[in-house]
Structure 1
Amino acid sequence: MTVYGLHASHEQIPPAGLLDAVVHAERAGFTAAMCSDHFSPWSVRQGESGFAWSWLGAALQATDRMPFGVVNAPGQRYHPAIVAQAIAGLASMYPGRFWAALGSGEASNEHITGAPWPRKDLRNARLRECVDIIRALLAGEEVSHDGLVTVDRARLWTLPAEVPPLVGAACSTATAAWCAEWADGLITVNAPPERLREIADAYRDAGGHGPLHLQVHLSWAPDEDHALALAHDQWRTNVHTPPVSWDLDSVELFDIVSEHVTPGQVAGTVNVSSDLGRHTAWLQEYADLGFDTVMLHHVGREQAAFIDTFGAEVLPQLDVTRPLPATAKEYRCV
């Protein structure tokens, strides 16, 4: 059985619209949700960038049972002690309903501090320091640290009864194996099945425990050409592989390098189809690969028709389950 949830894209939709979407999705049969955490969208056309953490409090309050996750990059835009405090606050108010995925970030969001953008190996080292700091703070320890980040006598005074999972974010086998050292689960994005299997196996073979999460970019409309046009309009800046996606630092640059991206290229990274049976088969394939949670991101800015249609005609064809309570002790690596 697999959890099928909704991905809320702050880059594309205003916070109030995303709040309506997750409430709508829960009523339609989606059993979980997650959101991005961006300071900047990927293109001028997307045109939004709501603050994820304030939205999460509202979304958890507005829904009844849905757990929520967020993908966050501590270390530059966010000090890890602030991330720990935010995690603790949400987990205290909504026990078992919140998890955070931690990654090394993208320059498009992190450059705003004015600090230099480190190379990838330093970003990973910084992330690992942040993970250890966040875990220690969530355990109630006072933390001082001098390294790639600095912490001076930090302590969280409000602690959750259960520590929520800290999930590793990875798009490569090397990063997935590295996440196994510290993560309570793994999250990645849709790719060809053989690639997803390699990433999942790299995490498990390195000793990684906990659930496997997958974020799926998709575009659906009753008309095939419309579905492809939606994907090309909204997601053509997202076809670029690292290091481009890591290192470009403005929406204008993303738009420039994506000027000649074709609809066919977008269809290589987004599941585009008007055929609900095909979408169902894609989602079932991800479950068969061993992903415990599949988060659906319809890349069009209008969500209501997608939610209604998938809730009525796609989810009933799948073996949908509710997630276990989100607590780190269930999944903590040893």
Structure 2
Amino acid sequence: MTEKIAVLGAGSWGSVLANLLSENGHDVYLWSHNPEQVNILNDQHENPKYMKDFKYSTTLTATGDMEDAIKGASVVLIAIPTGGIREVSNKVGTILAKLNQTSLVLHATKGLEQVTYKRPSEILAEEIPAANRRGIVAITGPSHAEDVARKDLTAITAASADESHAKEVQVLFNNDYFRIYSNDDIVGAEFGSALKNIIAIGSGILSGMGYRDNAKAALITRGLNEIKRLGVAYGANPFTFSGLSGVGDLIVTATSVNSRNWRAGNQLGQGKSLDDVIEDMGMVIEGVYTTKAAYEMSQERHVEMPIIESIYKVLYENADVKVIINGLMQRHIRSERD
């Protein structure tokens, strides 16, 4: 059945998801705050800043009018960086209330809000009135926009406290190259998708310094243990971290040059300053901000996270990477189960 779907955020991930939904036969409106981007998407079916050399479906409609995108949409998907999700979700709530409309609200954001350290679904719940949302679903898992655009085989997770809403999302997205699994642990899914960006920065640092596969495997494995430890402290199901939004997302983000977090770490490992890396990237590096959030959350809950604490010191205290690595390797010996 064809549904009207509003996708808010025309970056690489938002635009590719919008294109997929359009090709699946839905009436998709892709919102962007950039008029030039809207015109190029509608006239040339391209998004050169984010997806070079990719042609979008001619049935996909871009718009700069958020209300026009949302009006009549059974589903609203927010796909923007964490730093803007509260402002955009507040506007969504205002528009839905004005229209007296109730929609299923999805997000594809991987991070934690600064200062409050709230997960995206918590922000959506605060900013969008309950009367105007049927449910909240997080879409997350191992997926580079570039690979989805090429129709590489992809499997991700739709997570919601009410799994029936996640199952609705499965029907919207599933096709012969893109498969979604449902999950009722939105807390774990959001923690996994946010914190893996930190480990990806660490993996990039190791590569930039010349370390090889053994080092990256150790970092990813022990890093996953820290992600799970913090997530469980905040109410997540530990089994979630063995799934697509946990180890799956961690693997793809911490091992690929398509990951901007990995690329940022790689430049840091080669000796560039964080300010230069941020300027060079030109896009939000979620892991930089999530590192600060995770470190302070671990301090609050007394959760031991030596790897994430070490990456925090590199990013925010200008610690010497070689000294940090030596300190990690010389820590007291312990059981793998710890």
TM-score, normalised on structure 1? 0.32
TM-score, normalised on structure 2? 0.32
Q: Relative to total residues, which structure has the larger helix share, 1 or 2?
A: 2
Larger of the two Rg values belongs to structure: 2
User: Which of 1 and 2 has higher RCO (CA within 8 Å, sep 6+)?
Assistant: 1
